[in-house]
Structure 1
Amino acid sequence: MESTGQNPPQWNHTTLMDFILLGFSDVPDLRGFLFGVFLIIYMIILLENSLIIIITKVNPSLRTPMYFFLGNFSSLEICYVSVTVPRLLTDLCRQNRNISYLACATRMYFFLAFGATECFILTAMAYDRYVAICNPLLYPLIMNNRLCIQLAASCWITGIPVHIGFTYLIFSLPFCRSNQLNHFFCDIPPVLKLACGDTFMIEMLVYTVAVLVVTIPFMLILGSYGKIISTILRLLSAAGRTKAFSSCSSHLIVVALFFGSGIMTYLRPKSSHSTGMDKFLSLFLHHCDTNV
């Protein structure tokens, strides 16, 4: 990873009061179409996840650890997409796409915190499936109500202090004269592109946090599924294997899509970053998370 180096003397620093989100301003003819597409996707996400939350609450037969975590995941999905999509829809309808410095930092924090929570909840769901398939007789004892609540609370709380400090460090950087953010929300790569001075330490911190929040949970999930697949293949009944695979397949697909796009966004080399690819991966990261 290369450092940006020190600023040339001719660069002037300024205290930015706001950013301008360029978003999809480079394709003005498609703004109406994009607004319709994103609005439909957003409404589907809200309705689908709200329905899951309601069903898991009112149906006594669904009060199991698997559906408890699914309810948490659905709540998280609503929060996660609501950080960025409403603002994106608003910007597609107006010329003024300014966002204040504080609002940009706040949205970045919630985006990162909810993203970390999603990594942890997907890991907890993988552990739940591991216990259910590999230790079915002990499942009710291990995945008791107390442990489920503790796991869910840990998933929601763990990333809060880390990302408060992380966001503070990023927005403590001096920024150059340009305040045009070539993205549709305040993500790390486009914000760092506007920073002056040496951002090497911040970039190293990005990689470190990404490894802790993305890579380690991903490896734990892969380990869980290695054990799960090994156990499923030993089942004598074809019906049993089919049932076991069906209970895991949708979760595994979401894991692959979510972690894959997250790793591509935050762990690929800086030299390979491009604005178009970053926007595409961000959209993919927001909308690939169908329900598990």
Structure 2
Amino acid sequence: MTLISCRPEVSLDLPFEGPQFVVKALFSPDRPFSARVDHTYPPTGETLFDTTFSSATVVVYENNRPIDTLRYTRNNTYESALGRKPRTGAAYRLYLTAPGFPDAVSRDEVVPPAPSVVRTVIDKPQNYVLSLHLQNLTGQPGLYNIQVTGLFEGRRVQLLVEDLLRPDGLVDNCGFRRDNETFFYRDICSVNQQLIARFSSSLSGVVPDFYNQSDFIDPTRQSDQVRLQIRSVTDSYWNYYRTLPNSEGIEQAFLQPVTRSGNVEGGYGIVAAYHEQVILLNVAP
């Protein structure tokens, strides 16, 4: 038996536009200014990832006026040394410079008002059902990010939460599911700009704890509290998470390529804003 094979060699020059900033910053009135700053890498794989990119100058502008220069701390993170925080209704952008990099600037982001929660109810016909009413008082269309988290003795319980009003297979511009516990909504699709959301869950699941081995013997816990994280978000925030792949790790290699939403000119990334309210509800056994 004779086996013959051939292996053609192909030379391909991979395009690289040179190093550019990659930024992620989420501004909220309850947290000081912070931004994670990285950069692009050649597609040849000859350069390792840089976890100490400390040479950037990151300036925060409020309503077109520079108010703070963020200080490098660790792991590509820049933070306000003065502890300054964004203000509701103000417009913010970042301006970034560094030797060997083109300047980058984000588009203005206006911090939205806090969500107005009218009513929250939790009951248990079979599974637990959580009802949430939000009222938009601004007169402008509202965007919301809602996360439903179970807690057992203060530790997070991994839940599977069902949206009773929006089936998972529904595809439109009124909302989407981000993961098992996180949902996005537009109140323009609701009546009189009042958003009503209803969720169902057993409120039981695994409590991840890599230091307490007993959790791996009996991993399922029943939540004794529900944590509702409700955020008013900007268009940039909404669009970024809508285009962000849900899969992680090696699974991303099998996904169709998508253009991730961003708002940084002269670079890549997202600078977005939100306003958060957190509500803790006790769960009756």
What TM-score range do you get, normalising by the shorter chain?
A: under 0.3
- Higher Rg: 2
Which structure carries more relative contact order (alpha carbon 8 Å, separation 6+)? 1
Higher helix share: 1
- Give the TM-score taking structure 2 as reference length: 0.24
